Copies of this chain bind each other. A is one copy, B any other.
Amino acid sequence: MHTLNVDLGSRSYPILIGAGLLGRAGSFDQLAARNVLAVSNSTVAPLYMAQLRSSLAPRRVVEVILPDGEAHKTLGNMARVLDVLVANRFARDCAVLALGGGVVGDLAGFAAACYQRGVDFVQVPTTLLAQVDSAVGGKTGVNHVGGKNLIGAFHQPQLVVADTATLQSLPARELRAGLAEVIKYALICDAPLMAWLEQHLGALLGRDPAALAHVILRSCQIKADVVGRDEREQGERALLNLGHTFGHAVEAATGYREWLHGEAVGAGLAMAATMSCECRLLEASDAERVRRLVELAGLPTQVPGVTPQDMLSHMRIDKKVLGGRLRLVLLRRLGAAFVTADYAPEALMRTLAQHCGAGAP
Interface 9-residue window, one of A45-53, A288-296, A299-307, A317-325: A317-325
Does chain B have a CB within 8 A of A331? no
Q: How many whole Å from A57's CB to the nearest CB in chain B?
A: 19
User: Interface majority SS on A: helix, strand, loop or mixed?
Assistant: mixed
Tell me, in angstroms, the Cα distance from A150 to B86 when the chains sit together: 8
Does chain B have a CB within 8 A of A121? no
Q: List the B residue with the shortest CB-CB distance to A323.
A: B93
Question: A91: which B residues are within 8 A, CB to CB?
Answer: 317, 319, 321-324
Q: List the B residue with the shortest CB-CB distance to A90.
A: B317
Q: How many whole Å from A90's CB to the nearest CB in chain B?
A: 9
Does chain B have a CB within 8 A of A154? yes
Does chain B have a CB within 8 A of A92? yes
Q: List the B residue with the shortest CB-CB distance to A325.
A: B91
Q: Across the interface, do A317 and B115 meet the contact criterion of CB distance under 8 Å?
A: no
Does chain B have a CB within 8 A of A147? yes
Q: How many whole Å from A88's CB to the nearest CB in chain B?
A: 10
Tell me, in angstroms, the Cα distance from A171 to B312 when the chains sit together: 49
Question: A113: which B residues are within 8 A, CB to CB?
Answer: 153
Q: List the B residue with the shortest CB-CB distance to A113.
A: B153
Does chain B have a CB within 8 A of A117? yes
Question: A321: which B residues are within 8 A, CB to CB?
Answer: 91-92
Most chain B CB neighbours (cut-off 10 Å) among A79, A117, A139, A316:
A117
Question: A118: which B residues are within 8 A, CB to CB?
Answer: 153-154, 232
Q: How many whole Å from A58's CB to the nearest CB in chain B?
A: 15
Does chain B have a CB within 8 A of A141? yes
Tell me, in angstroms, the Cα distance from A147 to B322 when the chains sit together: 38
Q: Across the interface, do A141 and B117 meet the contact criterion of CB distance under 8 Å?
A: yes
Considering only residues 55-105 of chain A, those with a C-beta below 8 Å from chain B are: 75, 79, 82-83, 86-87, 89, 91-93
Interface string of A149-168 (1 = CB under 8 A from B): 11111100000000000000
Q: Across the interface, do B86 and A146 meet the contact criterion of CB distance under 8 Å?
A: yes
Q: Across the interface, do A322 and B92 meet the contact criterion of CB distance under 8 Å?
A: yes
Does chain B have a CB within 8 A of A114? yes
Does chain B have a CB within 8 A of A42? no
**Chain A residues near B (Cβ < 8 Å):** 34, 75, 79, 82-83, 86-87, 89, 91-93, 113-118, 139, 141, 144-147, 149-154, 232, 316-317, 319-324
Of all A-B residue pairs in the complex, the 3 with the closest CB atoms, nearest first, are A86-B146, A91-B321, A116-B319
> Could you pull out 7 A-B pairs where Cβ atoms are within 8 angstroms?
A75-B82, A86-B145, A86-B150, A89-B316, A91-B317, A115-B150, A153-B153
